[in-house]
Amino acid sequence: MNLRPEQILIYHITDVANLPGVLAEGGLHSDVAMAQRKPTVIGYTHIKERRMKELRVGCCGGRFVGEFVPFYYCARSPMLYVINRGNTGLPSGCQRSIVHLVSTVAVGIGLNRSWAISDGNAGAAYASFSADVEALNELDWEAIRATDWRGRTGQKMAEFLVADFFPWTGFHAVGCHNSGVAKQVQDLLNSQQHRPAVAVEPGWYY
């Protein structure tokens, strides 16, 4: 497989309640930078702590994983499934308010920031990292693209990481669970100069 960075979509999930703050800041900050801002947290708090204080990205000077803005290579990720089940402390069914912010690997690389490719969940001790674009071809794309990922959760949760900050202008699309949330997003974007396409994407959700 010979994948090109401009072909590979990357997805960041967040609650729509965080979107006004993202727009006000002009983009996404890393978890380390956001720790004092008290956003609506949708993932596991203890894993975020581990990413911020324990796990390091060796190919990027040993910086902590939490110093990077994380993306998956697929929508409808295992993490979204876990969140929607209520396992992270939010109510069961909370995926309805979660949006997918979509960009490409090429955009991430083009920001001239440190970046890395993980071969699995970057919040797990077993993950390895590379800053070589050829590492994209070594990912388990069958698992990443699978709708039934039992036994391959780690591989499906491979990540693309961008150091510190990812600008709003780097996103070209926003995927939503339903028309109500899509309208919320569209209303927020009406005052913005950069307006990614907004669409209801039922196939991106459980």
The set of catalytic residues is 51, 159
For the chain, the three-class secondary structure string (H helix, E strand, C coil) is: CCCCHHHCEEEEEEEHHHHHHHHHHCEEECHHHHCCCCCCCCCCHHHHHHHHHCCEEHHHCCEEHHHEEEEECCCCCHHHHHHHCCCCCCCCCHHHHEEEEEEEHHHHHCCCCCEEEECCCCCCCCCCEECCHHHHHHCCHHHHHCCCCCCCHHHHCCEEEEECEEEHHHCCEEEECCHHHHHHHHHHHCCCCCCCEEEECHHHCC
Element (H, E) at 161: strand 159-163
